[in-house]
Amino acid sequence: MNQESDDFLAVRELLTFGNEFCYFVENQSKYEENYRLTFLQRALPALYLKGALLPEVTECDESYMQRYVTEENYEILFNEMREIFGKKDQFHTADEITGDLIKHSLSENLCDLYQDMKDLFMTFSKGYEAGRACTAFYAREWFDKRWGNAIVKALPIIHELMSDSSAGPDLE
């Protein structure tokens, strides 16, 4: 395989996992708590790994990268997820420099990841070569600047929730 094929494969693998994650978020209310937590415990590390393996792409025709998730769609999914997590949605991290506590929302982190994955998947699925290159560019950029860190922050919370709920590994 040549480098271009390897790069294309890395993006396709990310989008395969990303599409499954999007389906999960869009159907989250259909699942029991144990299933939701187990899915997230497994899907988030896989997405992080696939993001870390993305190629560096230096150029992109930005006109091919569009946002498909509307603010309204985002808000619907966010509110649904926030209701599902309830009081467990809010968590805090310490600022590395000042030590101040920073408030976060698990739902916001996951919906931000959803928005990026959905937009990347939709752009890639259009099939244009320039659009696919743009998908690779933004997938890497957004991983570095947004959703990679969101996953790192969400995983300890998911882990804690798994322990609290006695969620098993069963993904029926």
Distance CA 129, CA 134 (A): 9
Q: Are strands 101-105 and 90-94 parallel, antiparallel or unpaired?
A: antiparallel
For residue 109, tell me if it sits in a domain.
yes
Token code pair at residue 75: 């808000």
Distance CA 92, CA 78 (A): 18
Task: Quick: pLDDT tens for 73-104.
Answer: 999 999 999 999 999 999 988 888 898 998 99
Cα dihedral across residues 53, 59, 64, 65: positive or negative: positive
Q: Which residues pair with 104 in a beta bridge?
A: 91
For residue 50, tell me if it sits in a domain.
yes
Residue 132 has pLDDT above 90, yes or no: no
Instruction: Classify residue 6 by its DSSP letter.
Output: H
> Angle CA(135)–CA(153)–CA(10) in degrees, nearest 5?
30
Domain count, the chain: 1
CATH number at residue 157: 1.20.120.1550
pTM of the model: 0.89
Give the per-residue pLDDT at 171: 42
For residue 84, tell me if it sits in a domain.
yes
Structural domain range at position 17: 3-165
For residue 104, tell me if it sits in a domain.
yes
pLDDT band, very low/low/confident/very high, at 169 (cuts 50, 70, 90) = very low
Give the per-residue pLDDT at 3: 63
For residue 88, tell me if it sits in a domain.
yes
| CB-based contacts of 16, cutoff 8 Å, min separation 6 | none
For residue 170, tell me if it sits in a domain.
no
For residue 63, tell me if it sits in a domain.
yes
pLDDT band, very low/low/confident/very high, at 165 (cuts 50, 70, 90) = low
For residue 152, tell me if it sits in a domain.
yes
Give the per-residue pLDDT at 172: 42
Q: How far is CA 61 from CA 75, 76, 129, in A?
A: 29, 31, 11
SS3 93: strand
